[in-house]
Chain A
Amino acid sequence: MSFLNKIGVIPSEDEIFNSDDQQSEIAGDHQGSVIKNVTRRGFLKATGLASSSLVLGVQLSSIQAATSTHAHPSDKDFAPDVFISMDKKGTVYIVCHRSEMGQGIRSSLPLLVADEMECDWDRVVVKQGLGDAKYGSQNTDGSRSVRRFYYRLKEAGATARTMLQMAAAQVWKVKPTSVTIYNHRAKLKGSSQVLDFSELVEIAATLKVPEKSALKLKKESEHRYVGKDNIKLLDGKDIVTGKARFGYDVEIEGMKYAVIARPPVVFGKVKSFDASEAMKVPGVLKVIKLPALNPPAVFNMLGGIAVIADNTWSALQGRDKLKIEWEHGANASYNTKDYEKEFVKALDNPPHVVRNRGDWDKAKEKADKVFTQNYYVAGIAHATMEPPAATAVVSDDGVEVWTCTQTPQSAQRNVMGVMKIPQEKAASVKINVTLLGGGFGRKSKPDYVAEAVYIANETKLPVKVCWTREDEIKHGYYHSPSYQSLSASFDKSGLPTGWYHGMVNHPIGATFNPAAKQAGAADLGQTDLPFDLPNIKLTNGESDTFMRIGWVRSVTNINNAFAVSSFADELAREQKQDPKDYLLSLIGKDQMLDVNKDAAKYENYGENFDDYPIDTSRLKNVIEVVAKDAGWGKKLPAGYGIGIAAHRSFCTYVATVVIVSSQKDKIKIEKVFYAVDAGKVINPDRARSQMEGAAIFSTSLAYYGEITAKDGIVEQSNFHDYEMARIGQVPDIHVNILKSDKPPAGIGEPGVPPFAPALCNAIFDATGKRYRRLPLKQYGII
């Protein structure tokens, strides 16, 4: 597996399991999709669309593989990701193949199809795609769902529209060009005749799919839903009435409930256990031992003892009564607080130079002054409101799972691993994706699915595995603590002559390869330093890893942006310059920054540099816009402070201004402003809500976010000692989503990185105190 060679570089799930698919996705959105009329074909049964009159299958992924051998791939090769179908009433069903976790994807991707198809959104039903290898990549992380599929989905919608147009032309015996399609109806030009989609569907179903060259995509100005704020939340009514089904809510016939006592230390083992008291708890049915976990952790189950009962409460009571002797293993040597000194040592002379321009060492030697500061950001847990949960049924026919997962296909692979199901029988594993009660990266790691399937198989019972909050906090895939050292060299002028940034953490790579030592992931906010300085040296230290480390919303951008944007503010203050103006000067001239000219291997979130360059003019623009929106430079009330930070991540440019007040040594966030250039945005309201959410997610991490282990055991357990921002700590958040015709970029994560540094820069402005460690709770100012 190729990721094993990339020690220290963050592997995405696709890279780990599916590098071919990843390649074809990277090949670019312009590759085009393969679309077929599949109304009469067998595989519709699995989609629940068999009763529809017209069904189009759209293959988004692996296009390259398909088209390289066949201009029109045979049914054998054709593996649609998305289905568009219509029943006789004209109701349009669009299958969403990505997971919904609050980012609004269920009302973004289908909206794009519906708009292009000229549907009335009120007559569209969105269906959730099953997890299945034949659907191509479904991994919903890396803020890339829209980025990857924008044009292809437009083509899919245009295909359906064109077929309806052709159908109407047949009815009226005119050329298709004499028919216009608008809002679920066909209209004959120069007459008042109209036909509803319901009257055209049966004819359309008999037609061949038009050639790509015959498609006319709508112009941006012709969109009726895309880029507008005129649709309601798709699942809004279900959510506000309690009908929405999350992974935790799954109920199936005869289902039992399981909770697990997991080894307190990762790779720990059960030495012995006594379940006699647990079995006396009314409702407890079985107690079983799970296989111990050996490195690498990947998405395998942690092991421990499972208690299966008639209801969750009995299972919990039973678990409390278990007597387990653990063998903690080697990771019990780990103490987060002590380990910081290892991080400091690791940056003494870090062995990995990830980017090198000019000669930093010489610039430092020649400098009149070298300014150095160090930053520490604690590790954090995901704390999704819905803890992980999975329900499994194992039968002779195969395995069926219902779960809240960001990545149904790695869940499927995980199940195949547990059950030793060979690749050719993948179709016997069905993964149903529920709504996700938050994801943030936790639910792209389906260890809990493996648990459910293992227990269901051992007990021959349908089983729902429920994680408690304590389980979620104590057994996560954590964002690593990190230590960073930054230096800038100065001569007589105000801008640095050189910039040095060393970074070390426990690498995510170690979760997949225990030999991984190099800090990860420099690509996310370190290598892509956007400052136009003559000498730049960026390094990574090495570290051992003692816990499961994983992606958390925006990943290492969190700590990299905190260090870089805090340090930039410190330099401005040192130089007695306005922080906003100074930031613009650091970025310097407008350019398409090619960091790989500086001996770097920057991968740009898997995107090509033509469509997604590092465009410094766009970064400067969001800074100017947010400064204007926030009234930068105006006099603030006494005790107030203002701070700014800007950061490009997931190919989106975000600038944030935070205004705070300080009273009796306590900080209050008064106002927050975002300016966001994410290219084309399908659903601006959901984009705004993601930025509002990112600000609040970041408030929690900046104020409270700290996971620590003592003797390898996580010390936090629930919301009393792993606190979250509450409503009273959060002001209204002003979000400006800039209009852009650039290719669509990420939305879910890019709002996180600039918030914490903007906050700390504002606190400095208000109080004159610089906080270089997160969380801020440790300073007594929250």
Chain B
Amino acid sequence: MIELTINNKKHQLDVPQEMPLLWALRDIIKLTGSKYGCGMGLCGACTVHLDGEATRSCVLPVSAAIGKKVTTIEGLSDNADHPLQQAWMDISVPQCGYCQPGQIMSAASLLNKNDSPSDDEIDQAMSGNICRCGTYPRIRSAIHKAAKLAREVK
């Protein structure tokens, strides 16, 4: 049995140590907000936080998450009220929406470390997240907007 703490809740899992966290989240715990996109850590659709740090769950064995706090898109806020989620809706960022949970989790990790990122800093932090619909310019705007919202709240 493997014990994982996901969105502040403990889960006992009977899975092999090497199963990537993504499949444990999706298929075992039934949290499907984290998406499969490549299985190689190339696209960022599966991004979750491991102790607050953006991590590609498709290449992270569940054993590496033992004793750490895992946060998924479902646990980012109680009611879609994280500044990033608010900004995302205000600017109508999503098109198909599939990559957006991963985009938001990467952005949240960035804002944890940098409360007013520049365009270049955003581009760098978000370069691991692919969006095929082409929402990048709006993602950039939404991160700026969320950063501003968060600073105002502080």
Contacts and interface: CB of A to CB of B under 8 A. Distances in A.
Interface of A: 100-104, 232-233, 235-246, 248-249, 251, 257, 282, 310-313, 316, 383-387, 435-440, 466, 468-469, 685, 689-690, 692-697, 700, 718-720, 724-728, 730-733
B38 to A, nearest CB: 5
Contact of A102 (B96, B122, B127, B139): B96
Nearest to B128: A726
B38 A104 contact: no
Nearest to A239: B97
Given A241-B80, A385-B37, A726-B130, A236 B96 contact: no
A685 B92 contact: yes
B89 A241 contact: no
Given A312-B26, A692-B134, A242 B34 contact: yes
Contact of B135 (A236, A241, A316, A693): A693
Nearest to A383: B132
* Chain A contact residues: helix, strand, loop or mixed: loop
A237 B89 contact: yes
B124 to A, nearest CB: 7
Contacts of B32: 242, 245, 248-249, 251
B101 A727 contact: no
Nearest to B31: A242
Contacts of A244: 97
Contacts of A384: 96, 98, 132
Given A102-B97, A242-B101, A718 B40 contact: yes
B53 interface: no
A236 B92 CA distance: 7
Contacts of B3: none
A439 B19 CA distance: 29
Residue in A101, A689, A700, A732 whose Cβ sees the most chain B Cβ within 10 Å: A689
Nearest to B73: A242
Residue in B32, B36, B122 whose Cβ sees the most chain A Cβ within 10 Å: B36
Given A385-B43, A730-B134, 4 more contacts: A240-B80, A696-B136, A718-B38, A719-B38
Interface string B115-143: 00000101110110111111111111000
Contact of A242 (B28, B43, B74, B84): B74
A695 B76 CA distance: 31
A386 B26 contact: no
A692 B137 contact: yes
Contacts of B136: 696, 725-727, 730
A258 to B, nearest CB: 12
- Which 5 interchain pairs have the tightest Cβ spacing? A242-B33, A437-B98, A696-B134, A102-B96, A102-B95
Nearest to B42: A719
Contacts of A731: 137
B16 interface: yes
A236 B94 CA distance: 7
B129 A436 contact: no
Nearest to B98: A437
B104 interface: yes
Residue in B76, B80, B129, B140 whose Cβ sees the most chain A Cβ within 10 Å: B80
Contacts of B138: 689, 692
B132 A385 contact: yes
Contacts of A730: 134, 136-137
A112 to B, nearest CB: 18
A728 B130 CA distance: 11
A142 B33 CA distance: 30
B150 to A, nearest CB: 15
Interface string B60-88: 00000000000011101100100011001
A206 B45 CA distance: 50
Contacts of B28: 311
Nearest to B119: A728
A240 B43 contact: no
B39 interface: yes
A440 B33 CA distance: 22
Given A239-B97, A240-B88, A719-B40, A386 B137 contact: no
B27 interface: yes
B88 A385 contact: no
A104 B94 CA distance: 10
Nearest to A693: B134
Contact of B89 (A232, A469, A695, A696): A232
A749 to B, nearest CB: 13
A100 B126 CA distance: 26
B27 A241 contact: no
A727 B123 contact: yes
B94 to A, nearest CB: 5
Contacts of B56: none
A601 B62 CA distance: 60
Interface in B1-43: 15-16, 19-20, 23, 26-28, 30-40, 42-43
Contact of A313 (B20, B76, B120, B126): B20
A251 B30 contact: yes
Nearest to B139: A727
Contacts of A235: 94, 97
Contacts of B37: 385-386, 469
B147 interface: no
A718 B37 CA distance: 10
Nearest to B142: A240
A733 B88 CA distance: 18
B54 interface: no
Contacts of B129: 727
B130 A693 contact: no
A240 B27 contact: no
A720 B134 contact: no
Given A312-B26, A696-B136, A385 B42 contact: no
B88 A236 contact: yes
Contacts of A245: 32
A385 B34 contact: no
A436 B27 contact: no
A438 B94 contact: no
Residue in A282, A385, A436 whose Cβ sees the most chain B Cβ within 10 Å: A385
B74 to A, nearest CB: 5
Nearest to A311: B27
Contacts of A103: 95
A387 B130 CA distance: 14
B134 A697 contact: yes
B111 interface: no
Nearest to B37: A385
Nearest to B102: A385
Contacts of B104: 240
A103 B94 CA distance: 10
B145 to A, nearest CB: 13
9 contacts: A233-B94, A235-B94, A237-B80, A386-B35, A436-B96, A437-B35, A469-B43, A696-B136, A727-B126
A438 B34 contact: no
B135 A728 contact: no
A102 B42 contact: no
Contacts of A242: 31-34, 72-74, 101
Contact of A719 (B36, B43, B92, B96): B43
A479 to B, nearest CB: 14
Contacts of B94: 102, 233, 235-236, 239-240
A235 B76 CA distance: 18
Contacts of A251: 30, 32
